[in-house]
Structure 1
Amino acid sequence: MGQTGQSRWKSFWEKGGWWRAVLLAAVYFILYELGSLLFAPLALSISDQESAAFILAVYGLPILLGCILLTLFGWSVGWLRGLFARQPIHGRGWMWIAVIAVLAFNILRMATIDYNSVGLDVVATWLLAGLFVGFAEETLTRGFVINMLRKARYREIVVAVISGGIFAGLHAGNLLSGQSLFVTLFQLLYTFAFGICMYLALRLSGSLIVPILLHASTDPSIFLQTAHAAEGPLAAIAGLGNIVVIVVGLGSLFFIRGRVDAPVFDAALQAQR
């Protein structure tokens, strides 16, 4: 890309705004879905759908491709350095509720998995895939999307809602894989609330790394505990995690305040100089 073309490309995204954020997410979703087709022959060649190899082919490799695409985008617009810089707006003590709710149930689910039935290779593969998921989805929605929303000077409640809505919208594509409408609608509600919790984790910690790691431990714990739950009352309690996240995420919307006066990446980089 020439210097003029690069400056136009960067200038376009630097303007920010909600529709550019939606556009970025939509383009990412399309490229991710198309990229996933590259690994379809590999997945079809694996007969055991509970094996580590199948999980890697269906979940791990496609989302790794998504990580690469997002990294290339961040490099092309010069946002990679600011991505993990200190956030320019501080959190509040009550935001710990969201972090604790997500982390506590992640630990509880991991503690109620029947590891003898699942196998350590499958657990390790899910954890690796979860790390890819955490990086890709948080980099997109709590990194790039929130940056573009703040560039448009939206209030933080608007930033939280739109970023959470975009995050939830990405999961609507599960209808294409045959998931029922009812399950998808519940998933959209959960992912929206979970997105709010990740926004609060970002605000509270001041770093994108924290929501990435929280997210990275969430998906594996849900998938593994749902398919290989150990017997006992704790497993039933762990199953309530999604409901708790929904209540905490939606309830938090009434308390989010603030506004960032300067673009998040620009302000964060200025603070480091």
Structure 2
Amino acid sequence: MKKSEHQLRVTPKVWIGLLIAVGYLFIILPIQKLSGIPYQDFGASADNLYHSAIISMAAGAIALIIVTSLLGWWRPALYDNTLQRWTYKWPIIAPLFLLLGAIANLFSTDFSNFDAKFILILITFGLLVGFCEEITYRGLLLTSLRSKLSEGWVCILTSIIFGLIHGSNIVLGQDILTTITQFFFAALMGFSLYIVRRVTGSLIWAMLLHGLWDVSVFMSEYSSADNNGLGGLSIMVAAPLSIIFLFIVFRKIKKSEANRAS
């Protein structure tokens, strides 16, 4: 057992992370379904966003805080230790395209369509979605997968599972084609958010970028903003760059470990 694991109340196991990932979904999905608001209408108004997303994710956030505290996993979920933090900083270029896409969405938004109440709810939504989804998938799930798998598989599986959970939106009235597309976009975005964690050593920056991205998309869609497709294009640039950069870094790390072993 690793020394760091002695400081945890519960030793990380793969099944624990998977249970948390599914459990979070089973908390928010029924609440969102009971709201009676189709997924495509979540951001149509302040009241819609509050009753569909805010209430459900607030319940999810409370559950995640309790579970993380009981497990004693706050440190490994939120931060990489010195050995886990990358010395490579250049991969951050890939997720920066997501940041640029979010900024493009915001700059193309007509803010006259939003009152103070709506903006406050959007900010709350951004904080909740960033915290809940990142602590669940690139926090607790990542911590549990690290107990058994190589970091390459941890990266791949956390991204794919993050994409898969968006498939639940079909239960909320989203059509199949849009749901499949959202799965791929979310999974690809997961690779970029993983890079943010590994380069900065902190999940908090991934939470902030994730929240900002989702808020910018809601605002852009609500105000029918025309950003010339820059928002969607940013993912299409960030995703392949992230995968290429991850391949290069993991290969360098593997080669370095092999040289030390020999």
The answer to whether TM tops 0.5 is yes
Deviates more, 1:81-90 or 1:168-177: 81-90
After TM superposition, the score normalised by the length of structure 2 is: 0.81
Aligned to 1:31: 27
Aligned residues: CA RMSD: 2.5
Q: Is the 8 A contact 1:164 1:193 kept in 2?
A: yes
After TM superposition, the score normalised by the length of structure 1 is: 0.78
Gaps of 5+ in 1: 1-9, 260-273
Residue 181, structure 1, aligned to residue 192, structure 2: no
Residue 71, structure 1, aligned to residue 65, structure 2: yes
- How does 1:197-208 map onto structure 2 within 5 Å? 197-208=192-203
Q: Residue 129 of structure 2 is aligned with which of 128, 133, 149?
A: 133
Distance 1:210 1:59, change over 3 A: same
Q: Is the 8 A contact 1:67 1:136 kept in 2?
A: yes
Distance 1:239 1:189, change over 3 A: closer
Q: Is the 8 A contact 1:113 1:230 kept in 2?
A: yes
Distance 1:226 1:251, change over 3 A: farther
Q: CA deviation at 1:149?
A: 1.1
CA deviation string 1:191-237 (max 9, x = no partner): 11111111100001001111011111010101111231445xx4443
Residue 225, structure 1, aligned to residue 220, structure 2: yes
For residues 85 and 241 of structure 1, what CA distance do their matches in structure 2 show? 27
For residues 157 and 181 of structure 1, what CA distance do their matches in structure 2 show? 30
Amino acid at match of 1:241: S
Percent sequence identity over aligned pairs: 25
Q: Is the 8 A contact 2:91 2:242 kept in 1?
A: no
Residue 16, structure 1, aligned to residue 1, structure 2: no
Q: Is the 8 A contact 2:95 2:238 kept in 1?
A: no
Q: Residue 248 of structure 1 is aligned with which of 219, 224, 241?
A: 241
CA deviation string 1:104-126 (max 9, x = no partner): 11111111101112334323311
Q: Structure 1 residue runs of 4+, over 4 Å off?
A: none
Q: Is the 8 A contact 1:157 1:256 kept in 2?
A: no
CA deviation string 1:12-69 (max 9, x = no partner): xx2422x44323211221122234456x28x79xxx9733222111111111111111
Q: How many residues align?
A: 239
Amino acid at match of 1:117: N
Residue 54, structure 1, aligned to residue 48, structure 2: yes
For residues 126 and 56 of structure 2, what CA distance do their matches in structure 1 show? 12
Distance 1:16 1:120, change over 3 A: same
For residues 15 and 30 of structure 1, what CA distance do their matches in structure 2 show? 21
For residues 76 and 105 of structure 2, what CA distance do their matches in structure 1 show? 34
For residues 140 and 16 of structure 1, what CA distance do their matches in structure 2 show? 14
Deviates more, 1:138-147 or 1:91-100: 91-100
